[in-house]
Structure formats: structure tokens, C-alpha cells
Chains A and B, each alone.
Chain A
Amino acid sequence: MRLFENADYSLVSSRRIGYVISGTLLAVSIISLLVRGLALGIDFRGGYEFVVGNVGDVQTVDVRAALSGPLGSQPEVKTYGETSLLIRASRAEDDEASTTEVQNLILSTIQEEFPGSNPEIEKTSVVGPRFAEDLRQGAIYAVFGALAVIFLYILVRFEWRYSVGAVAALMHDVTITLGLFSILAGVVPFSLQIDQGIIAAFLTIVGYSLNDTVVVFDRVREYVNLFKTESFPTIVNKSINATLSRTVVTSVTTLIVVTVLFVFGGEVLRGFSFALIFGVIVGTYSSVFVASPTIVELHRRLEQPA
């Protein structure tokens, strides 16, 4: 089977279409991030998160209403798997109630309010505010550290224009994926809160997208020496076309596995694999429509002296 063999699309000359698409997606994402914001998970916000199993047939709205009084705040209640509930409660800075107390309060309330349920705690996560602050800082360092390392690596292996192109593509991917999380939070039936797992997914997206970009850049580097008479945009276009088959095949195999993870990986990995599915698509798109056009633009502007 051969896909995109001898592909010859004029992708570079039609890059403006890409600009419009990317621009729109970026604008929508940024607006949503500014307006709706991001739902931070307890890793980065602090608080309690319980998975309560064996609750029977209950409505999340009812559980939420029942728990609001005893907990003194509105908890977040979501279904988790088939018979479990995910309950998130905030934790005030000076809260003196111990985890044990909160946990018992939730169990006894559910048991009283919903006869026939026999709730049990399947999973507990408690993060203190100060610890959350540390994790948040760590995540920010990790993301920006990653971008800096990539910029430097590409700078050493290629040249600065490629660095700019690669990092532009990565920021494009991360922003749009974050935007999607912001738009879909609360719409999809699984949790899309930003936690450590999601940050791991983002860095994986960054790695994956870069993978694609580097393969194209590598071919550009090769063709620049090979076709000395051709114009730079033509070379870039040739490179994209030459690697298009590989780009698509790798995207397909990667999409296969992340979709498998999304379907079979269980509730814990749902947000993580969702980010990856979307990230792989955006990452593939961006290496063709963001990273490559960026180096073309940079080349064009700087090669055309007045």
C-alpha cells in the first residue's frame, strides 16, 4: 500500500490557507482561555479528590446537592467509570478538618441520602495548597524548560530560523490543545482538568510534533545542498511532499495507539489520551502548515534586501 507517493502538492504557496486556519484556531483558543479559563486539577490548585465506588444508581446533581451542606462548599461530582463517582472538594487554607473527617463525611452523607448505596472510597488524592503551588511551578518550569531546550537543540543542529519555526509550531500546538481543554471542559463526560498527567501529555505532544517538524527540516537541509538552483520555498515544498507519506503513516500508527488508550485505558488515562489524540493531529498539521511556512517566511524576508 502506498499513500502520498510522489506527492506534489503546492503546500508552501497555499500556506495562507494554513495561516487563516491556525489564526482562527489560535484566536478561538486564546479567547476561550481568557474568558472561560482553564480548570486546574487538585494537583495545581490543592484540594480533595475522592473516587467513591459502589454508589448505585444516583444522579450526580443529587449527590452534589446532598454534599454541599455538610462540606460547606459546592463539591464537583462526576461519574467515574460505571458505578463510581469522582468527587472534588476544595480545601481552604486554614481548613482544620482532616482528610479522614472529610472522607467520612462524604461516605456517611451518601449512605444516608441514598438508601441502598454502600459507598466505599476507591481512590483518594489530597494536595495541600503549598504543595500544589510547588507542583504548579514545576509544571511551568517543565513546559518552558522544554521549549528552551528544543530551541537550543535545533539551533545547534540546524540554525536559528529552524529554531524559531519549531518553537512557533510547538507553541501553536500547546495553545490550541489548551484552548480545546478550555472550550470542552464540562461539555465532555470525562474530566478535562489540568493535572500532572495532562502536563505529561503536553510535553509528549511537544515531543511528537517536534519529531514531525525535525523530519521535514532534515529533508530541507538535505535538499538545500542538493538543489542549489531551486528557490527556497520550492525546496521546502519538495521536502514536505517527500516526507508526506512518512508523516501520515506515523500519525496513523500513533493515532491508533492513543485512540486505543482512550478507549481501553480506563478512566484514569482518559483526559491524558484525549489530549494526545488531539495533540497528534494538531502536531502533524503544524509541522506542515506552521513550522515549514515559518522558515519560508523568515528566509524570504531576510533574503530580500531592499
Chain B
Amino acid sequence: MQGNGFKLGLTIFFVGLCGFYLFPSVQNLYVSYQMDQMSAEERQEYERENQQRLESIRESSLNLGLDLQGGMHVTLQMQVSSLLDQLASNKDAAFREALNAASERAQQEDISVVNAFVQEFESRNPDGRLSRYYRSEPDNLTRRSSNDEVQDYLSSRVDDALDTAMQIVRNRVDRYGVTEPSIQQQGSRRVSVELPGVEEEERVRNLLESASQLTFHLMGEPQQLQASVQRIIDYYEPTAADSARIAEASTDTTGQAAGSDTSEATEGTALATQSQQDAESQEGTALSEPGSEGSSGPQNPLLSVMQPLPRQGSPTVGYVQGPDTAQVNDLIRDPEVQNMIPSGVQFLWTGNPVPGTDNTYALLAVRDEAELTGDVITEASVTFSRQTNEPKVSMAMNSEGARIWGRVTKANVGEQVAIVLDGRVYSYPNIEGPIMGGRTEISGLESRQEAQDIVTILQSGSMQAPVDIIEERTVGPSLGEASIRAGLISVIVGLLLVVLFMIMYYHTAGVVADVALLLNVILILGILAGFNATLTLPGIAGIVLTIGMAVDANVLIYDRVREEQATGKTLRAAISAGYEQSLSAILDANITTFFMGVILYSFGVGPVQGFAVTLMAGILSSLFTAIIVTRLIFDYMVEERRMDVSYG
């Protein structure tokens, strides 16, 4: 038993350590089981009384991956090219060309947008200076600054923007209320967000993706708009005869809709909700279904999806069913059509369906230039309209904002002003009179929850550049539970079958290997808990696989012992030789598999990393149990108890 004291000590130490790390997880299981037995009230009471204890148990118990407990994983990517665009001044064709080429390239290959932009610009304009576009006094960036300096400046601005974006995402997630979210930077322009237990995917998507760029715009000139929309319709008109008929139909609309244009004052802000009036006028005119009039001949692609509504005093281009908006976007993106849109005006969708309709959105003509931006907002809260009880977001502005807002509203009494959040028009009320106090509100919201989310977005600050969701994985709680069950059954059945096989094949020695195997599973879980790793479904698969492969070391040893016994050695000598002779094969085989784990871990994401972690943990613990623990047991059996161990 030479040196076995050390081995024994090591074994006790590791097992103790794993027990220490696994204790909270066992506690957690026990507490959850207890709480499942309680009634709802008892449970609430219990949770209240033991809140701190419960939290600490949960925090230190084994983390389950999103694929097991349900939740949402999102990777966000910042639109760096949009940031570069915003930071620049004196933009010209050369700038735009280089920026477009750079963002194309960054789509195709693994290169930072800033570097791609500088390269593209320099290749197009060998003598060009980027300082033409980028100047910043605080950063010592002047007209004379070299392109390298500009590049450094841009890179640091991108880093700042990503930091801000992460902070904003963190704020929003906290306000939304997620237990144990994880928000991590990935590379130079990505953020990965893990939200356990989240089910309202749609809401979270909006919350995360929103750049929270709030702007106030005046509307396009209705008369100009009317002519422009007519031209666009004509452009898509297949034949001249059809075109005349449509023109007639649209004048009809104009005549009837004009009558319903009365304004109704809302409290405090002297603004009227125009979107509501549009809905009423739509009901009043009872327009024919889009597309039906063209059914006899070739259809006008625009009219088949859009109900045009340009009329006196309204900045509305038309009404479109939700699913068709993408198609209309495509039609409008046509360069010819872009030229027909009045200059200085852009077409934007409403944020919500037009009130009174199920899924109809209005396309509005809004001036490009923002009168005011959201950074003047100092306060935002959810309020309810006294008359309709409709939820609203009330906002207060700082003094500068209030001054501008006062000037704008004073100069445009009777006009409409669009409140635009992230490129969607939420409301476009009439200005009833000058608003001096700097208060304003967003109406036309669908629910209290939406109002609450907008408040969250406004309060969390605005992103310097928009972010997009480039990857999303959501697992519902029921699927997660099913996965836990499937994983558990696999572990138990796998373990049982391997244990039986080993006893059948190696008899007593098989029992020893099985003891090592069970210890192995506990050690793997302990290692996972100790390193604060996350258990995922592929991770469980890794454990099951380890159960099958971990016995390999024992199989190697036992077969060697059998061989040594066959040469006539005593049991003791055979065991000793068996362990020694098989060590190099065991180590070589396991080290290479361990490398696979390392490689998988460094390339994979999420669940696959979970697999890699358990694979590596399994190799370490199986080496320990198969070489050290089983040897201890054999030494005890053979040397202390003088037992005759059967190797089958």
C-alpha cells in the first residue's frame, strides 16, 4: 500500500470538494420538491420568508442552459456603417461609395467595418483625406489629421458605441425583469444576451433592437404629396385605361374623406390624434377591397396591396395590410419612384395598426429633417388619457428642448407633427397651439405594456448606432422540461446498461469499475458546479457519452491484467503490471480526446460549448477514477483483505 495514503487523501479531497460544490444544487432540488408540495399561498409565504436563502441556493447551484430551462439567447450586432455615417459631416459621393463598399465587404469577410472603410476610401482616393469628413476637437482631430489618426478615432468611437449599447441593453433587461441575465461582448461589434425564462419573444426583440432614436418631424406637404402619390401609382399602372379608372377612384376618396376632418383636443398638450380620425374616415368612405377593381385586367402591383389615401390636409400615402408592407417597401425602393417622392420627405410606417383595424398600417409622408431629437427628453412615464383611458407615454424635456419645441409648435399651429421612434410613426397629432412647457406625449399605443416598454427604451438612453438581432434561439419551457426528462432518462438507462455489461464481462473487477463510474458522474457534475459551467442538453449527452467511454480506461487495464495473468503472474503482480503497462495507452488516448474538447470549446457557442465542457470534465475525472480510485480499491481488496478478485 505504498503511497496509497496520498492517493486516498487525494480521493477524499476531490470527493469532498465536489460534495461542497454540489451541495447547493441538491438543496435546490430538495427545496423545489418541497415547494411543489405546498399550496400556492404556503409557497408564497415560504418564498417570502426564505427569500435570501433561496436566492443564495439558486445562485450557487448548477446552472442549467437555456435549452433546458427555457429562455432566449440573442446575438446583437451593431450597425457600424450607420455609426460612421452619423459621425461624418460634409458627406459626398466618394464618402458614400466607400462606406457602401465597406459595409458590403464586412458582410462577406471577417474584417472590421472601420478598417474596410479606410481601405476602400484610400483605394478610391489615393490622396484623399478622411479628415474631410471627421473632425472632433476633444479628440484632437483636425483638418490636418492623417488617415491613421482618423482610423484610430473611429475605432475608439465604435468601441464606445458598443459599450454604450451593452449598458443600454443591460438597463433594458433589468427593467424588463429577468433573473440572472447574461450580457457579454463578442468580438468588436457583437453582444450576446442570454435571458433565462423569457417567453415574450416579440416584446424582448423590440426591446433589444430598438435604437431608441426618438425624433419629432413635421409632415410632408399634403398637396405635393397627392400629386406625387398619383405619379407613383401611374408609374406602376399597366395600361392607360386602368390608370384613368384608378385616378377617378382616388378623387372619390378625397371628396368623401374631407368631411370627417374634425379635430378633437386632448388634455394638456393641445394635440389631437390624427391617426384616429384617419381610421374614422376610412370606415366612412368604405373603399372597395384593394385589388378587386383591377381583377379584370392586369393589376397595378402597388394598388393590389395598398389603398391610396392622399387627400386634402392629410399626409397619408395609403393603407396597407401588415403582411404586405414588405412588398410596398420593395415597390417604393425603386429608384424611379424615389425620385417621385417630394424632396425632403420620406415615407414611414405607423408603429401600430390604424385604430379600428386589425392589421392595417398607414404609410405617412414625414419630413426628413427632425425638428427635435429624443436626447432632450428628461423624463418619461406611462399615463392614461382621461377620456378614452388609452395608455400614453408622457415626456418632459430639458430647457433647450422646451425652447425649440415651443418655437416649432408656435410656428406650425394647425399642422401635424409626427412622433417617430426608431423609424416608426407612433402618433401624428395636430398642433392646436404653441406648447411652451416642454411636455409632450406619444399616443396611439396598443396596450399599457407597449407604453411601458417605450418608457423603458426612452429611459435607458439612446444607442449611438442601431443594433440588429443576427442570431436568436428561443426554447419554450415545455420543450426545456422535455429535454431535461429525456436527458435524465438517457443518463440513467445508459448508466444501468453499462454497469450491467461491466459486471457481466469482468465480474468482481466490473463492480469496481462501476463504483468508479458512479463516482465519475458525481465528479463531472462537481467539476461543472465548481467551475460555474452551464449544463446544457448536449452537455448531458456528453455525460452519457462519457459513461460509455470512461470505462475504456478500465477495460484497457483489465484486459492487460488478464494478459499478465495468462503469463502466469500472481494476481498482485498481474494487477501491478496491468496498471503500469496500460498507462501510456490510456494517457495518449485521453489526451487526444481532450484536445478535441478544447477545439470544440473554442469554436462552438452555447450548447456545443456545454458539450465540450462535459467532455473535458469527463476525461479528467475518468482518468482519476479509472487509474487512481480503482487501484486503491484493488489494493485494499487484494493486499488488506487477501481477496481473490475475479477479472472475469
Residues of B within 8 A of A135 (CB): 605
In contact, B552 and A211 (Cβ under 8 angstroms): yes
Among the 9-residue stretches A8-16, A30-38, A110-118, A145-153, the one with 4 or more Cβ atoms under 8 Å from chain B is A145-153
Minimum C-beta distance from B202 to chain A (A)? 4
Assess the B584–A250 pair: CB atoms within 8 A.
no
Residue-by-residue, is B465-496 near A (CB-CB < 8 Å gives 1, otherwise 0)?
00011111111101100110011011001100
Once the chains are docked, how many angstroms separate the CA of A125 from the CA of B201? Answer: 11
Is the CB of A64 closer than 8 A to any CB of chain B? no
Give, as a whole number of angstroms, the nearest-CB distance from A165 to chain B.
14
CA distance in complex: A193, B544 (Å): 23
B519 lies within 8 A of chain A by Cβ: no
Closest chain-A Cβ to B549's Cβ sits at a distance in Å of 6
Contacting residues, chain A, for B399 (C-beta < 8 A): none
State the Cβ distance, B433 to closest chain A Cβ, in Å: 38
Residues of A with C-beta under 8 A to B551: 250, 253
Partner of B498 from the list A103, A206, A256, A276 (CB cut-off 8 Å) is A256
Partner of A141, one of B201, B505, B596, B603: B603
> For residue A98, which residue of chain B has the nearest CB?
B205
Q: How far is the CB of B608 from chain A (nearest CB, A)?
A: 5
A153 touches B595 (CB 8 A): yes
- Within 93-119 of A, Cβ neighbours of B (below 8 Å) are at 95-101, 103, 105
CB distance from A82 to the nearest CB of B (A): 10
Which of B16-24, B47-55, B128-136, B554-562 binds A? B554-562
The answer on a CB contact under 8 Å between B585 and A142 is no
Interface stretch, picked from B7-15, B275-283, B321-329, is B321-329
Known: A265-B490, A265-B541. A146 touches B479 (CB 8 A): no
Query: Contact: A266 with B486, CB < 8 Å?
Result: yes
Q: Name which of A20-28, A178-186, A196-204, A290-298 contacts chain B.
A: A196-204
- Taking CB atoms, residues of chain B closer than 8 Å to A197 are 538, 607-608, 611
- Let me know if B478 and A122 touch, CB within 8 A: yes
B599 and A145 within 8 A (CB): yes
Query: Are A261 and B545 in touch, CB under 8 angstroms?
Result: yes
Are A5 and B498 touching (Cβ within 8 A)? no
CB neighbours of A142 from chain B (8 A): 599-600, 602-604
Docked CA distance A206–B326 (Å): 46
A257 to B542, CA, bound (A): 10
Residues of A205-234 at the interface with B, using a CB-CB cut-off of 8 Å, are: 206-208, 210-211, 214-215, 217-219, 222
Of the candidates A2, A99, A129, A265, the one whose C-beta lies within 8 Å of that of B486 is A265
> Is the Cβ of A203 less than 8 Å from the Cβ of B329?
no
A246 interfacial contact with B, CB 8 Å? yes
> Does the CB pair A269–B537 fall under 8 Å?
yes
Cα A177 to Cα B504 in complex, Å, equals 32
> Chain A nearest CB: distance from B643 CB in Å?
20
Instruction: Please tell me which one of the listed residues A105, A134, A138, A204 contacts residue B615 in the complex, with CB atoms under 8 A apart.
Output: A204
How many residues in A have their beta carbons less than 8 Å from beta carbons of B?
84
Distance (Å) between the CB of B482 and the closest chain A CB? 6
B94 within 8 A of A: no
- The residue that A207 contacts in the complex, of B323, B486, B505, B593, with Cβ under 8 A, is B593
Q: Known A1-B504, A131-B470, A204-B596; judge A218-B588 contact (CB<8 A).
A: yes
Q: B501 contacts A256, CB within 8 Å?
A: yes
The answer, yes or no, to whether A17 is at the interface (CB within 8 Å) is no
Q: Which chain A residue lies CB-closest to B206?
A: A100
Interchain CB contact under 8 A, B555 and A51: no
Residues of A within 8 A of B87 (CB): none
Interface flag for B67 (CB, 8 Å): yes
Nearest A residue to B484 by beta-carbon distance? A266
Q: Is the CB of A246 within 8 A of B538?
A: no
In the bound complex, what is the Cα–Cα distance between A128 and B76 (angstroms)? 10
Contact A219 to B608, CB < 8 A, known contacts A99-B469, A153-B592: no
Contact residues in A for B468 (Cβ distance below 8 Å)? 128
Note all chain A residues with C-beta closer than 8 A to B498: 253, 256-257
Given A200-B608, A265-B486, the answer on whether A272 and B589 have CB atoms closer than 8 Å is: no
How far apart are the CA atoms of A112 and B201 in the complex, in Å?
22
Q: Which residues of B contact A146 (CB under 8 A)?
A: 595-596, 599
* B197 close to A (CB within 8 Å): no
Which B residues, 43 to 77, have Cβ-Cβ distances below 8 Å to chain A?
67, 75, 77
Say yes or no: B471 contacts A200, CB within 8 Å. Answer: no
- A60 sits at the interface (CB 8 A): no
Query: Which of A6, A129, A139, A276 is the one whose CB lies under 8 Å from B603?
Result: A139
**B501, A253: Cβ atoms under 8 Å?**
yes
Bound form: Cα–Cα A229–B470 in Å: 64
A155 on the B face (CB < 8 A) = no
Contacts of B202 in A (CB 8 A): 100, 103
Contacts of A39 in B (CB 8 A): none
Give 7 nearest A-B pairs by CB, closest first. A257-B548, A266-B486, A128-B470, A207-B593, A207-B596, A142-B603, A218-B585
Q: Told that A131-B471, A268-B67 touch, could you supply 20 new A-B pairs with CB distance under 8 A?
A: A1-B504, A51-B479, A53-B478, A121-B474, A125-B472, A133-B108, A138-B604, A142-B599, A196-B607, A200-B538, A203-B596, A206-B596, A210-B589, A222-B581, A243-B559, A253-B555, A257-B497, A261-B541, A264-B486, A265-B490
